Every structure is written in structure tokens, then in C-alpha cells.
């Protein structure tokens, strides 16, 4: 029985490298502390160090007190879907949606997995760098033939390359603001990508997990506001409302065939999202005043961290650093600090290991696709300013 052939797709799925990095750090931290008297600086995770706003927690408690603990409605409760329609209008400037355009899911992750599943075994395209979960999880799980189009310097788009890559593709995956670069795609860029998808008859899977974490007074542009029917936009409450553990998300599309199909996937996997949590989610989206207050406090703090981090990183001679416009990650280029004669696996881990030695946890660039091996991702979502300062001193040390 030991060589029984289980599902090949499932066997190909890998755990996020960030999990194994966190495990490695947990092992190394006591030794580092004993040697230096200091703690590790943790830049590896996309977790959030703010509590979920009280008005949302209270809404969940109220829903429980009211006994909203029965099986959920297939595809999502009306109250959550109505709140989503409201939010699409006031936040995304996206109109013309009704409940048949929406599926409520367990986080953005389930929305994405269901969307990728629509195109099982087909050709998909996305930019590199690309969120590691897409590469490690959705692509193998759905047997996707995934092609990566590298972003250029300053993470700009080569539209000719994209045009060629979309030949014969079923879908394009876009993540804006982007993990790991912090790139906020402009309205013009998003519209041009949608035009190319339309030219090639490809769907757009739009991952807008960080839509609310945007800096410098800029605004996220959602492709959902465009008229093209074949866009599936996936959203989550995780990052906007600091609700990573609640596992609440939703997907929206003008193509009404898709929610019908994805409702089946959603039902097959989980029979829907926990009923009382959907009531809390509705309150999160509908209570604009409270949500604005909570969000402003978070984004102001992230922006402070980003500015400090940027000042420190850009003072390092030879380090290629782009200032993130959204999300909470830096993705600098360390190629000037890696000896020319080092290649392959050793090169991929070279800077990551030097940083570990100095008590800094990060994520190495090869986790995000094919083209960015010399880059490192630093998250500032759980690191207060003091820790960032300490981390910067250590990063500077390895670049000296």
C-alpha cells in the first residue's frame, strides 16, 4: 500500500516556504538570544499586529446571541452579499452587481483557489514576482500550465512580452497592490491589461487582497469597475480589517455563469462560510465610519513604518530598492552583495542565510517565481518602528 498513487495534483502542492522559514527561525532564535542577548527581528510574515476592530467582534457576538448558528445559505448570506454590493459602490466605484454576481468564501485564498479551479489544466499567465501561494498551492492544485512574465526594473510592465505570453491563455492573474513588490498598478496599467485579456479571449483573475492598504493618498483601482465581463475579482477582509484568522472573503464577477459554478465548488468544499461570521462581515463592510477610523489608524502606522524602512534601505549603497505604494512589503535587489561565482541553490539562499546569522528573518526571492532570485522580501506588518530600526542596523551590517 505504501506506493499507492494518490492525486498527483495534491502531491505537487507544497507548504508555503514562509511556514518553513518561521520554523527555522523558531529553532535558531534561542541560540541567537544566548549568543547576543537579542531577539530575532521578524520580517517574514504577512500577519497583522492590530486587533480586529471592536465593532466587528461585537457584531459576531450579537449574531451568536441571536442564534445565527445554522447552515449558511449556499453561496453566501443575503446580508453579507448586500454589504458587498454596497462596498463595491462606495469603495471600488463598481456598479451594476447583484447577489448572483457574488460568492462568499473562506478568505481570499478560497476565492482564488475556486477561480483557478475554473481553468483546471489550462494555460494561465501572471507577473513575476508572484505571491508564493499561487505558485506553491493554486497552480499545482489546479494543474495549471502557468507562465510567468517578468516585471522589469522598478517593476514596470513590458506589454509586448505580456501580449505574447497571453497567446492561447485562458486567464491572467493580477495582484494589485502586489505582494511581494508593493507595486500599485495604475488605472492605465490595469485597463491596458484588461484590454489585452479581451484581445486574447482570456479571463482576468484579479487579486485585490491589499486594496485598502495604500499609501501617499493614492487609491487602488479595481478592474471590477470596468465593463469587461470576464473579470473575477477576489477580495478578503483579512488585511483591511485585521481579520486574518476569521477567514472571510468573496469573489465578484459580471459573468453570471461563474458564481453558479463556483457555488458548487464552495458547497462541495465547505458547504459555505460560517453563518454568524457572515453577519460580522456585513457589519465590517457597512459601518463606513468605524471602518474608516480603524483603517486610517492602521494605514498611518504602516506608512510610518514604510517611510522609516525606505529611508534606511535606500541609504545602503548598491541596494536596489523601490518604495512600495501599497501592501506591507519591501522587495529589494541584493545582487550587488552576492559574489559573482555563486550560483544555483546556494545563490538563492545566500543573502537569506547571512540575514539569519544576524538575527533577521526574511523571505528569499525565489519563493516568488523565476526571475528574482537575488531579491529579498521584508514584511513590515508585524514589526513596530523600534524593531525596524534594529533590523535595519543588522541589514546594513551584511551589506558593509
Ligand X SMILES: Cc1ncc(COP(=O)(O)O)c(C=O)c1O
Interface residues toward ligand X, by CB under 6 A? 46, 107-109, 131, 175, 179, 207, 209, 236, 238, 244, 249
Put the strands of the sheet holding 363-364 in their side by side order: 329-330, 376-379, 363-364
> Buried (b) or exposed (e) across 17-32, using 16+ Cβ within 10 A?
bbeebbeebeeebeeb
CB of 107 to ligand X, least distance (A): 3
Tell me whether residue 200 or residue 305 sits nearer to ligand X (CB atom).
Answer: 305
CB of 252 to ligand X, least distance (A): 14
Tell me whether residue 209 or residue 388 sits nearer to ligand X (CB atom).
Answer: 209
CB of 346 to ligand X, least distance (A): 28
CB of 22 to ligand X, least distance (A): 14
Tell me whether residue 140 or residue 389 sits nearer to ligand X (CB atom).
Answer: 140
Determine the distance from the C-alpha atom of residue 386 to the mean position of all C-alpha atoms in its chain, rounded to a whole number. Answer: 25
Distance CA 94, CA 226 (A): 8
Render 6-60 in DSSP notation, one character per residue: --HHHHH----HHHHHHHHHHHHHHHHHHHHS-PPEE-S-----SPPPHHHHHHH
CB of 200 to ligand X, least distance (A): 23
Render 96-120 in DSSP notation, one character per residue: S--GGGEEEESHHHHHHHHHHHTTT
Distance CA 301, CA 399 (A): 27
Residue 131 corresponds to which cell in the numbers above? 505571491
Tell me whether residue 136 or residue 207 sits nearer to ligand X (CB atom).
Answer: 207
Q: What angle do CA 126, 253, 221 make, to 5 degrees?
A: 60
Tell me whether residue 103 or residue 354 sits nearer to ligand X (CB atom).
Answer: 103
Tell me whether residue 126 or residue 312 sits nearer to ligand X (CB atom).
Answer: 126
CB of 133 to ligand X, least distance (A): 7
The answer to whether the CB of 155 falls within 8 A of the CB of 201 is no
Amino acid at each position: 500500500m505504501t506506493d499507492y498513487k494518490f492525486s498527483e495534483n495534491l502531491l505537487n502542492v507544497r507548504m508555503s516556504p514562509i511556514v518553513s522559514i518561521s520554523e527555522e527561525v523558531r529553532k535558531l532564535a534561542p541560540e541567537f538570544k544566548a549568543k547576543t542577548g537579542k531577539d530575532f527581528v521578524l520580517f517574514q510574515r504577512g500577519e497583522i499586529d492590530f486587533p480586529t476592530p471592536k465593532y466587528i467582534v461585537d457584531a459576531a457576538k450579537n449574531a451568536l446571541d441571536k442564534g445565527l448558528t445554522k447552515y449558511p445559505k449556499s453561496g453566501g448570506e443575503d446580508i453579507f452579499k448586500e454589504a458587498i454590493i454596497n462596498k463595491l459602490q462606495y469603495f471600488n466605484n463598481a456598479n451594476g452587481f447583484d447577489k448572483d454576481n457574488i460568492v462568499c468564501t473562506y478568505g481570499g485564498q478560497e476565492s482564488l483557489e475556486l477561480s483557478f479551479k475554473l481553468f483546471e489544466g489550462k494555460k494561465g499567465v501572471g507577473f513575476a514576482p508572484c505571491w508564493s501561494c499561487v505558485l506553491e498551492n493554486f497552480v499545482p492544485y489546479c494543474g495549471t500550465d502557468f507562465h510567468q512574465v517578468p516585471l522589469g526594473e522598478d517593476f514596470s510592465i513590458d506589454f509586448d512580452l505580456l501580449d505574447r505570453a497571453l497567446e492561447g491563455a485562458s486567464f491572467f492573474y493580477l495582484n494589485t497592490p502586489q505582494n511581494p513588490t508593493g507595486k500599485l498598478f495604475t488605472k492605465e496599467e490595469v485597463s491596458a491589461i484588461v484590454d489585452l485579456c479581451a484581445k486574447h479571449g482570456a479571463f482576468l483573475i484579479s487579486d485585490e487582497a491589499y486594496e485598502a492598504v495604500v499609501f501617499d493618498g493614492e487609491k487602488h483601482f479595481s478592474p471590477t469597475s470596468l465593463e469587461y465581463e470576464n473579470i473575477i475579482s477576489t477580495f478578503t477582509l483579512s488585511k483591511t480589517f485585521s481579520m486574518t484568522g476569521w477567514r472571510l472573503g468573496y469573489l465578484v464577477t459580471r459573468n453570471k455563469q461563474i458564481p453558479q459554478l463556483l457555488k458548487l465548488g464552495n458547497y462541495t468544499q465547505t458547504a459555505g462560510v460560517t453563518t454568524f461570521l457572515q453577519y460580522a462581515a456585513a457589519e465590517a463592510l457597512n459601518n463606513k465610519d468605524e471602518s474608516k477610523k480603524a483603517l486610517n489608524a492602521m494605514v498611518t502606522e504602516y506608512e510610518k513604518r514604510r517611510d522609516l524602512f525606505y529611508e534606511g534601505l535606500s541609504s545602503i549603497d548598491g541596494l536596489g530598492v523601490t518604495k512600495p505604494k501599497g501592501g506591507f512589503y519591501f522587495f529589494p535587489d541584493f545582487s550587488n552583495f552576492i559574489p559573482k561565482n555563486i550560483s544555483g541553490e546556494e545563490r538563492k539562499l545566500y543573502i537569506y542565510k547571512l540575514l539569519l546569522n544576524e538575527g533577521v528573518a526574511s523571505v528569499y526571492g525565489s519563493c516568488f517565481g523565476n526571475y528574482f532570485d537575488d531579491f529579498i522580501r521584508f514584511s513590515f506588518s508585524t514589526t513596530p518602528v523600534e524593531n525596524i530600526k534594529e533590523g535595519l542596523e543588522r541589514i546594513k551590517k551584511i551589506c558593509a
